[in-house]
Amino acid sequence: FFGNWFGGATQRRAEPARGQDLLVEIELDLKEAAFGVNKEVEIESLDTCRECGGSGTTDPSSIRVCPACGGSGVTRTVRQSLFGQFVQTGPCGACRGEGRVIEHPCEECGGAGRAMRTRTLSVDIPAGIADGQRVRLSGRGGAGERGGLPGDVYVQVRVAPHPFFERQGDDILYRQDLTMVQAALGADIPVPTLDGEEEVHFAPGTQPGDVITLKSRGVPHLRQSGRGSQRILINVIVPRNLDDRQRDLLQEFDECCGQEHYNHRSEGFFQKFKQLFTG
């Protein structure tokens, strides 16, 4: 501050300024996030003027040294005060600190060398990306000022909820309903995975809360080899609205089965169930 008033500061012509960084959101479904996808995003930003190529004029001969500052980009004003004479320095107002003026500025950008433009960019989303993570497009942001480097574009990913899969890290959680007969006798059932349907064997005596793990059926690890697993949580469904005959058959089964055929759960079941959803 005092240097500006008393002449102690060294003022220079305005330097090239880096362009603006931009942030854009893109929504993916779970499969696109898991296996990667190429998407297009639309952005609006300051871009190098197509008409003048960023020079500010289509007539290079109209560029002149600023008469107000002599090309330095800085003006000095001498003032008198009670304390004596002092010099105030600052950016030249005539040329905005650039040291040059344009007699015939570009009609497209008004001499700024940049103009707003809508662009469509292609972005490669890597396999395994998670909700909230970003992909950086280096040098694809707003154009720099006075020949400065362009900024970057950051593409932030939003993954839409899946109707029946839940992602936990790189694992996929899925709930499989079994009838009590299927759970008791066992069954081979086609189960959806990220790779398509896969037949899974459910052993006789499968219990509610049991978990079956399908190795390497989860989400690929981001920028690494390998994949997570798909964990299948068993839910046993019980019939409702039984008629008299169905009720009698179940009652007869219960009487002949006896308690010795039932597996009595320990407290470990609840811990196992909790770990499934907390990792």
User: Could you say which of 2.60.260.20, 1.10.1740.10, 3.90.1150.10, 3.40.50.2300 is the CATH number of the domain covering 165-273?
Assistant: 2.60.260.20
Taking only the tens place, the pLDDT of each residue in 88-119 is 888 888 888 888 899 999 999 988 899 999 99
Nearest to 13 by CA among 89, 64, 77, 79: 89
The listed range with the strongest mean pLDDT (61-75, 132-146, 261-275) is 132-146
**Banded pLDDT at 1 (limits 50, 70, 90):** very low
Contact yes or no for 203/211 (Cβ under 8 A): no
How many CB atoms lie under 10 A from the CB of residue 149? Answer: 13
- Section 71-81 average pLDDT: 83
Nearest one of 155, 117, 115, 114 to 138, comparing CA atoms: 155
Statement: residue 49 has pLDDT above 60: yes
**Phi, psi at residue 203, to the nearest 5°?**
-70, 155
Instruction: Kindly state the percentage of the chain with pLDDT values over 90.
Output: 63
Give me the mean pLDDT over the 73-81 stretch.
83
pLDDT tens sequence across 223-253: 999 999 999 999 999 999 999 999 999 999 8
CA 168 to chain centre: 17
The C-alpha atoms of residue 158 and residue 129 are separated, in whole angstroms, by 10
| Beta-strand pair 171-179/230-237 | parallel
Q: Which residues contact 179 (CB under 8 A, 6 or more apart)?
A: 236, 237, 239
pLDDT at 13: 61
What is the pLDDT, as a whole number, of residue 97?
Answer: 84
Q: Considering the entire predicted model, what is its pTM? A: 0.76
pLDDT band at 121 (very low <50, low <70, confident <90, very high): very high
Exposure on the CB side of residue 267, measured as CA atoms within 13 A: 0
Which pLDDT score, from 0 to 100, does residue 263 have? 67
Do residues 54 and 78 touch, judged by C-beta distance below 8 A? no
